[in-house]
A and B are shown apart, each in its own frame.
Chain A
């Protein structure tokens, strides 16, 4: 059955810290049943995030180098290794209640499915690589990183990061996802033409709604985030 959900679509890049905080606050409110399922779709300014499995030596740039390039580094509570977020990348944080018998694996598969279908509309055939890692791939290159944490074993946190047309040289700063032998790519590179976040967002929204069986209404970002818990 289609469930009502809210879609938060902040304008312009949102710094990682406030976005992460807002996501956690929304998840707590979702857990308390105060809000419906919610999805945030946004871009971040350049930031490297380290999951629980990230090893320090997988961050290849020195603190000075990072500062010179204007990138933040955040250690966060999701699983997985290092990844990068930045302009040209469409980041989605689905905050969904998976219920009392959560199927986290199915949640991951659905996010992959959303991205695969979105990519196909831009003429890109993308695939899962269950032999390697969660995420969406083209051959040996990852086009979308996926990392999830559950709050109290039922509400989803974090999500996916789809490379539309980011400057891929940012990924030189890390061993992305802890996989040295694999590369990173973008929809633009695969399609051979520029494909921007504003172009991709509405298509991805549509597939999110269909795959997760949600009916979206728009909700403001700041009002939601700032509301008392």
Chain B
């Protein structure tokens, strides 16, 4: 007797619907002959029988949706073939060693080298970013306004580091079901819960292995769980503040969490959700990485002249402003592909080197800071980059970025230059190895061939993680960026 169970068609596919039984009870079936058809949220397939025999029992009716691994049918061996009993799955062994990758928690399947593999979902941050209501007051800066640090991904790292691997089916039976699996949430569930202020830890999951489904969340919303959750949440700003700031520290640990007290002339402003998240990301990045910093000076004179000549025609032809950022991204992408160590991330004891560049660009907006990602930036020309920057920065400020658009960066650039900084020390956008800062372009007196000349100069610096690279690589990398910017002829790029 062989038991047929719902096959696993991929790590992230956890359930399937029986569309049709192709054999009825009592009918004989050959090995590899289709037995039933299933439909999952990703693909449909017919599933062949692993053995020759007679369908002795059908356990799940057509139209039913059941988790992967559920017994579906029994096939008796007809006494013909040897071997006898045992558990077989339709096409894929279910209890097999499922790699404990972080993709499970982000809903991303392991691809060959998809960017989404690089950084798991930061959907909490994104959902919040989208849900924030006000629109930016519109800074007039030509380039995306930026701040010298970036949050996305830090949370993702924390999530993936702490999220337990899905338990192999049949394993560790004494663990309550809603343990590991319940931490795996689809983006939809996350967003729904965020929108309604639900505490997901209070919701009982009815999906496979205690996973919380959309229906569970909907039920919680319908039953007023959202209101309850919100009401239950403490509102620090409204808590009366009995202890003045100078109160003797009878309990030192309490001091840190005491509510703020407004003195005369002070204003107490509650911290937004996004502000808190950014703070957590920054702190966790500093705690995680061994940050070091290197700066080079770049003579950008010819580029400044080119841009002055080309910018009006460029705007007329392509409809977007020509800023310096696309040039810097191009020069950086080349250096990243030359020094893949800088375009890498640490995962446990291994270093993942990316052979493509997904460039995160730090954009400040009314709610704080967000890092949209230009996918495949290494393949883009200047026009494409200019368009992508304008599009992503614009939608960031309008709260219209989609979750995938702020995930998967392999490197990040921040651009505080328009505000006048000449050197910045950014915090690394986890799990990247480096973040490059483009500071203000200024005319300076420089020595060229033993004469003093006036040139447009810019400081380009990088915070880098000493866990993955050393100063030599960091400096070679920056020297390459410098060399590219100083020697490449971008005239053809801007097509004038």
Choose among A77, A106, A137, A152 the residue with the greatest number of B CB atoms under 10 Å from its CB. Answer: A106
Tell me if B61 counts as interface (CB < 8 A to partner A): no
* Contact A152–B395 (Cβ < 8 Å): no
- How many of chain A's residues have a CB under 8 angstroms from any CB in B? 48
Pair A131/B111 contact, Cβ less than 8 Å = no
Q: Using known A-B contacts A104-B43, A125-B388, determine if residue A153 contacts B48 with beta carbons closer than 8 Å.
A: yes
- Flag if B319 contacts A79 (CB, 8 Å): no
Q: How far is the CA of A127 from the CA of B401 in the complex (A)?
A: 11
Query: Closest CB of chain A to B224's CB: distance in Å?
Result: 25
Residues of B contacting A102 in the complex (Cβ-Cβ under 8 angstroms): 9-10, 91-92
Binary flags per residue of B98-113, CB closer than 8 Å to A gives 1, else 0: 0000000001111111
B13 touches A153 (CB 8 A): no
Residue of B nearest to A212 (CB): B112
Say yes or no: B92 contacts A100, CB within 8 Å: yes
Return the chain B residue nearest A210 by Cβ.
B112
Contact at B392–A77, with CB atoms within 8 Å?
no
A128 to chain B: closest residue by CB: B404
Q: Which of A103-124 contact B (CB under 8 A)?
A: 103-110, 112-113, 116-117, 119-124
The answer to whether B404 and A127 have CB atoms under 8 Å apart is: yes
Contact A101 B92 (CB under 8 A): yes
**Residue B93 interfacial (CB < 8 Å):** yes
Q: Pick the contact of B42 from A77, A105, A124 — CB < 8 Å?
A: A105
CB distance from B64 to the nearest CB of A (A): 16
Q: How far is the CB of A189 from chain B (nearest CB, A)?
A: 12
| Closest A residue by C-beta to B190 | A131
Give Cα distance in the complex from A140 to B32, angstroms: 42
Complex CA distance for A105 and B186, rounded to whole angstroms: 14
Which of B9, B116, B121, B383 contacts A103, CB < 8 Å?
Answer: B9
Contacts of A153 in B (CB 8 A): 7, 9, 45-48, 90-92
Which of B40, B44, B385 meets A78, CB within 8 Å? B44
Of B11, B91, B387, B402, which one neighbours A131 at CB under 8 angstroms?
Answer: B402
Min CB distance A217 to B, Å, is: 20
Q: Interface segment, A42-50, A143-151, A169-177, A218-226? A: A143-151
Within 8 A of A (CB), among B110-145: 110-116, 121, 123
- Tell which of A77, A139, A148, A152 touches B47, judged by Cβ atoms closer than 8 Å: A152
Residues in A whose Cβ lies below 8 Å from that of B46 = 150-153
**Is the CB–CB distance between B376 and A125 below 8 Å?**
yes
Q: Are B112 and A103 within 8 A (Cβ)? A: no
B57 at the A/B interface (Cβ < 8 Å)?
no
Would you call A109 and B116 a contact (CB within 8 A)? yes
- In the assembled complex, the CB of B184 is this many whole angstroms from the nearest CB of chain A, namely 13
Residue B391 is within 8 A (CB to CB) of chain A in the complex: yes
Task: Give the docked Cα–Cα distance between A101 and B110 (Å).
Answer: 13
**Of A77, A103, A110, A125, which is within 8 A of B11 by CB?**
A103
A179 vs chain B, min Cβ distance (A): 13
Q: Which residues of A contact B404 (CB under 8 A)?
A: 127-130, 137
| CB atoms of B10 and A103 under 8 A apart | yes
- B44 and A79 within 8 A (CB): yes
* Alpha-carbon gap, A120 to B383, bound state (A): 11
Question: Which residues in A have their C-beta under 8 angstroms from that of B467?
Answer: none
Query: Is A101 a contact partner of B93 (Cβ separation < 8 A)?
Result: yes
Question: With the chains together, A121 CA to B110 CA distance in Å?
Answer: 24
Complex alpha-carbon distance, A62 and B432, angstroms:
53
Residue pair A101, B402 in contact (C-beta under 8 Å):
no
Indicate whether A125 sits within 8 Å of B391 (C-beta atoms), given known contacts A101-B92, A192-B319: yes
Task: Show 29 residue pairs from A and B whose CB-CB distance is below 8 angstroms, ordered by the A residue.
Answer: A78-B44, A79-B44, A101-B96, A103-B11, A105-B9, A105-B13, A106-B111, A109-B110, A109-B111, A117-B375, A119-B376, A120-B380, A123-B383, A123-B385, A123-B388, A125-B374, A125-B387, A129-B402, A137-B402, A149-B44, A150-B9, A150-B43, A150-B45, A151-B45, A152-B45, A152-B47, A152-B48, A153-B48, A153-B92
Interface residues of B (CB under 8 A from A): 7-13, 19, 32, 34, 39-40, 42-48, 90-93, 96, 107-116, 121, 123, 187-188, 191, 318-319, 356, 374-377, 379-381, 383-385, 387-388, 391-392, 395, 400, 402-405
Binding site for B on A (CB under 8 A): 52, 77-79, 100-110, 112-113, 116-117, 119-131, 134, 137, 139-140, 148-154, 191-192, 211-213
